[in-house]
Chains A and B, each alone.
Chain A
Amino acid sequence: MSGSLSLVLFSGTDDKLMAAATLAAGAAAMDQQVNVILMFWALDAFRKDRIATAHGLAYDAARPRPNEPVENVGALPWLETFRQAKELGEMTIRACSGSLDALGLDPDELDPIVDSAGGIASFLMAAEGSQILFI
């Protein structure tokens, strides 16, 4: 392993998750350890019962884009890209236990790509010396 990348995922829209998945998969391919913690709306997007449905776009999109591929459900394969990151390298995805509590979710309700529930200290320990991005 050479270096690491740590992502705090907060936003749960498909575009932001796709950007995060691209970074995670790129880092995994470059032999970097990837640490991800899911909070609030990003955590909500990983719910088993909703993960395959559309999660909308960030406010940055500003207007409906009916003729652009990004508006089509399934046009942003972020889950598949996260799966590839996991397959290609070392990536741990933690569900922030405080956010689980705030959303009234049980870890069993999350997609199995999420490794475990975790506290912030364990994420920060894993992220020590790493770049941390908040998305």
Chain B
Amino acid sequence: MPATVTPSELEAITAAKVVDARGSACPGPLLEAKKGIGSVSVGSVLEIWSSDPVTKTDIGAWSTKVGHEFLGVLAGEGYERVLVRRRK
């Protein structure tokens, strides 16, 4: 799933909420994303931290399926920051 924003645009985004799912194995981070998206308003961004490298692909697939916008991934130290904009 291609990201819809450039890396520099991604860096500039401030998430409305950050969910720390580091250390959690599949399906943990996905479930945290599903839980977390309901707590940000439509149009706002949810950021999920995960140490599982498949999370970004999974959250990309989930975003497409349920109708949110997968923005992309930023590298953290030993984890990844996955950004999703709530669309509905």
- Tell me whether chain B's interface is mostly helix, strand or loop, or mixed: helix
Apart from A22-B26, A29-B27, 18 more pairs, CB < 8 Å: A25-B30, A25-B31, A26-B27, A28-B34, A29-B30, A29-B33, A29-B34, A30-B62, A30-B65, A31-B65, A31-B66, A81-B27, A81-B31, A84-B31, A84-B35, A87-B35, A88-B34, A88-B35
**A131 interface contact, C-beta 8 A:** no
B residues near A (Cβ < 8 Å) are 26-27, 30-31, 33-35, 62, 65-66
The 6 closest A-B pairs by CB, nearest first: A29-B34, A26-B27, A88-B34, A30-B65, A25-B27, A84-B31
User: Cβ of B62 and Cβ of A29 under 8 Å apart?
Assistant: yes
**A67 interface contact, C-beta 8 A:** no
A-B contact pairs, 20 of them (CB 8 A): A2-B65, A22-B26, A22-B27, A25-B30, A25-B31, A26-B27, A28-B34, A29-B27, A29-B31, A29-B34, A29-B62, A30-B66, A31-B65, A31-B66, A81-B27, A84-B31, A87-B35, A88-B31, A88-B34, A88-B35
A residues near B (Cβ < 8 Å) are 2, 22, 25-26, 28-31, 81, 84, 87-88
**How many A-B residue pairs lie within 8 Å, measured between CB atoms?**
28
Nearest-Cβ distance from residue A135 to partner chain B, whole angstroms: 16
- Tell me whether chain A's interface is mostly helix, strand or loop, or mixed: helix
Please give, as numbers and ranges, the residues of chain A lying within 8 Å of B66 by CB-CB distance. Answer: 30-31
Nearest-Cβ distance from residue A90 to partner chain B, whole angstroms: 13
Please give, as numbers and ranges, the residues of chain B lying within 8 Å of A28 by CB-CB distance. Answer: 34
User: Cβ of A26 and Cβ of B65 under 8 Å apart?
Assistant: no
